[in-house]
Structure 1
């Protein structure tokens, strides 16, 4: 792997590190809510299926419900965020999450749970559109990838913690699935409290002709004139917002890459891990609970390793090889579904590690390759496109296991990873250590010949 050279020895601006830490925490916990919610559901979905007498189709719809909601919420929130500012949605969408998190514990029928979880997905979709954009637009180029990766670390950690908590509540505490789902409200309340008082994004203000306000925020939190010049805040253009701008000649290639890359990363993961206990049971593993926890722990480790190494090895090194590795290990499971249990768990553990390591880039690439005027819209659109694949895989997996068996389903998942590998091989850019104006406006040379620009 090629080591990416860091920035030249330009003096670092006097940034308010406490402010950046608090903002990173607020954004990362928002992202972690999605993982936490889906982790809880993955454990209790079999219990819900039995309690509410659901068919495989209904179980698939419930498993995919929040993903369907993200398909609506991410692009809608992205448009509103680019149009009216980052701070508004950043501050209020968690209120909806808290209310809906409580409501899902009160449902009586499958269709009621489906409706609540779709609406919950809409709130989660807003997090995808606003959290990463808000964080990136305050963060200096040096270390930006590491901070954005923290969002995905929190996602995978949230998923792992939720799985452990859900198993403890159901198996040790013998609590109802309703109590398990209601627990998602706790981190949502904490996140809502932490988010009180953040300013508007200075890049959004400057791009909307409010330079004095944006500059005042840079002066107060981000190091003043040194940062303003070094990070090219003054280079923000007042470009048009709206989804039509995503498909202009200069942007549509970027959007296509983002959609395919993101979808191919998350579709196999959601399909396999939403039904992890079911998948492991189908492979005749004796302790699917332990297996599920191990696999999610490996995902959390992969996300942490990705966060630590992203600034050193660069974006492409985390984009291309992991897809080929994921395809290989899923193919092993597909062709050898009757393998000893330790081999199956090892293959899924390797998949989990590299999926999470590569998955960090779903919080990085959309931010770094799109201009400020359409950044949240682009993130929302790419998130929605990714969730089409994730929802389809999650919905079809239990049906596929029943109709085809686990082997063919894993081969299909491996094929999805091959598509992601080919797209990354030929289209993934290197954006390490480059300011947002540079990465989002200059032509990106795809295919790996590019090295990060020294500033």
Structure 2
């Protein structure tokens, strides 16, 4: 036993290994899932707009079905907990196959409640990618690469979201096109599922070590990286504990949990509320060429994500959050209170899209940086679950608010939520970027890897 422990301690930390084949396999597996998730969420509003001629949709059902995927994502709280108990690999090998089946099932369903249940199920499968996928990614990628690679995932998520708008607009030209739009997400789910099966994504060595399975973790590392790499001393010394949800609201984790959830929720309220029901909002604004305006908005979103990635490590995480939220709120308020032309409004609306979408690059790295390996998936699961409450509220309320007071009321409420989010980040958000932390803060906040 002593020999085995000595042998494990003689290895170099696998988190310092150069980027290699196993890292690419893990990364591509997760980014394909992100494309599928972005597409499934983006297609919802398009399909519902098309379904109005075929289904007895009210504002209530439009909002509920539109929010179905986001409500399902609340399951992150359970999926993260499950991943911390049973591991990452098995869940990620299965979820995209179920995602594919649920997508295809839309072809055979016209009952509004059943459509809602399908969207709910898709959201639950996406919850696995959001929580478990990101946990596996940060636990495999080399130190210094995980944050950068995580922030770039938003490019692929945005590609999926924008493809949904383009493909959905095309499919809307067919009879019963809304069914094809909803079901079309199966393409991206199947691609992700098949790749993961052939790529044979590995288990997480960090998770195995956190469960006391050091020898098994070492075998996984050597099989994928070579014999000279192994677990770090910190991982070798981890004491196995049963972590409950309540532990994340203890003194050690309370601030991280609340900030991680509330910043995400305020951002998601406005982003998903506006993005998913963009066609409805544009009609309320009196925009005649909704297709061109939608392409402009979604193009601005992609530009924003690219800009966000560029500045990701150039400013602190905390400043990034505060400035982007406050600027987005000001842009929306300007559209409500300024008496300007329609083209000027579209310009400000595009600027809002650029600013808010730039902050999306923090959605994956920031919450994962807030928690150590023992509670990472559970912590991220709770943060994402809280954020989906915000997203579901925004998606459910936007059609109702637009019906009550037009686009101005909807945008004013979104601006208020973003303002609250910026104040929360200003007062409470911890800094997690090593570049902008003092040495003693880095030691205090260092993840247990």
TM-score of the alignment, normalized to the shorter chain, above 0.5: yes
Distance in 1, matches of 2:97 and 2:67, equals: 22
Contact 1:260/1:386 (8 A) holds in 2:
yes
Counterpart CA distance in 1 for 2:222 and 2:355 is 40
Whole-Å Cα distance in 1 between the matches of residues 373 and 257 of structure 2? 14
The corresponding residue for 1:55 is 58
Aligned residues: 430
Alignment correspondent of 1:359: 360
**Equivalent position of 1:448 in the other structure:** none
**TM-score normalised according to structure 2 size:** 0.89
1:145 corresponds to which of 147, 152, 155: 147
Residue-by-residue CA offset, 1:180-216 (whole Å, 9 max, x unaligned)? 2211001111101121211110100111111122223
Pair 1:295–1:426, CA change in 2 (3 A): same
The 5 A counterparts of 1:45-444 are: 45-71=48-74, 73-171=75-173, 176-196=177-197, 197-222=200-225, 228-229=231-232, 232-234=234-236, 236-336=238-338, 339-433=340-434, 443=444
Paired residues of 1:76 and 1:380 also in contact (CA < 8 A): yes
- Could you tell me how far apart the structure 1 residues matched to 2:332 and 2:273 are? 13
Q: C-alpha offsets along residues 124-166 of structure 1, whole Å, 9 cap, x if unaligned?
A: 1122121110100001221221111122221111101111111
CA shift digits 1:230-249 (9 cap, x unpaired)? x9544544343231221111
Which has the larger displacement, 391-400 or 200-209? Answer: 391-400
Secondary structure at the residue paired with 1:372?
coil
Q: What are structure 2's unaligned runs of at least 5 residues?
A: 1-12
- SS of the aligned residue for 1:198 comes to coil
Q: How far apart, in 1, do the equivalents of 2:307 and 2:219 lie?
A: 36
Whole-angstrom CA distance in 2 between matches of 1:16 and 1:143: 8
- Where does the alignment leave 5 or more consecutive residues of structure 1 unmatched? 1-9, 445-451
Equivalent in 18, 22, 26 of residue 23 of structure 1: 26
Following superposition, the deviation at residue 429 of structure 1 comes to 2.7
- Is the contact made by 1:15 and 1:222 (CA closer than 8 Å) also made in structure 2? no
Equivalent-residue separation in structure 1 for 2:301 and 2:373 (angstroms): 31
- Cα distance in 1 for partners of 2:227, 2:141 equals 13
Which residue matches 1:4?
none
Residues 204 and 372, structure 1, Cα contact 8 Å, conserved in 2: yes
CA distance in 2, matches of 1:398, 1:43: 13
Cα 1:154–1:298 shift into 2, 3 Å: same
In the superposition, relative to structure 1, how do residues 223 and 234 fare at CA in structure 2: closer, same or farther (>3 Å)? farther
- Secondary structure of the residue that 1:50 maps to in structure 2? coil
Inter-partner Cα distance in structure 1 for 2:86 and 2:280: 44
For the 8 Å contact 1:236–1:372, the answer to whether it is kept is no
Deviation at 1:87, TM superposition (A): 0.7
Check the 8 A contact 2:25/2:201 in 1, yes or no.
no
2:348 is paired with a residue of what secondary structure?
A: helix
When residues 227 and 301 of structure 1 are mapped into structure 2, their CA distance, relative to the original with a 3 A threshold, is farther
- Cα pair distance change 1:18/1:175, threshold 3 Å: farther
How many Å separate the matches in 2 of 1:49 and 1:303?
32
Moved more, 273-282 or 31-40: 31-40
Change (3 A) 1:90 1:219: same
For residues 38-88 of structure 1, the C-alpha deviation after alignment (integer angstroms, 9 at most, x for no partner) is 2112212111133112111111111111111111x2111111100011111
- Displacement after TM superposition at 1:355 (Å): 1.6
- CA deviations over 1:233-288 (Å, ceiling 9, x no partner): 44544343231221111011110001111001111011111110111111111211
Contact (CA 8 Å) 2:70, 2:392: kept in 1 or not? Answer: yes
Q: Compared with structure 1, are the counterparts of its residues 252 and 441 closer, same or farther at alpha carbon in structure 2 (3 Å cutoff)?
A: farther
CA distance 1:266–1:224, change in 2 (3 Å): farther
SS of alignment partner, residue 242 of structure 2: coil
> Alpha carbons of 1:425 and 1:30: their partners in 2 closer, same or farther (altered >3 Å)?
same
Query: Does the CA contact (< 8 Å) of 1:13 and 1:224 recur in 2?
Result: no
Q: How far off its partner does 1:297 sit? A: 1.5
After alignment, is 202-211 or 37-46 more displaced?
37-46
> Pairwise CA RMSD of aligned residues?
2.6
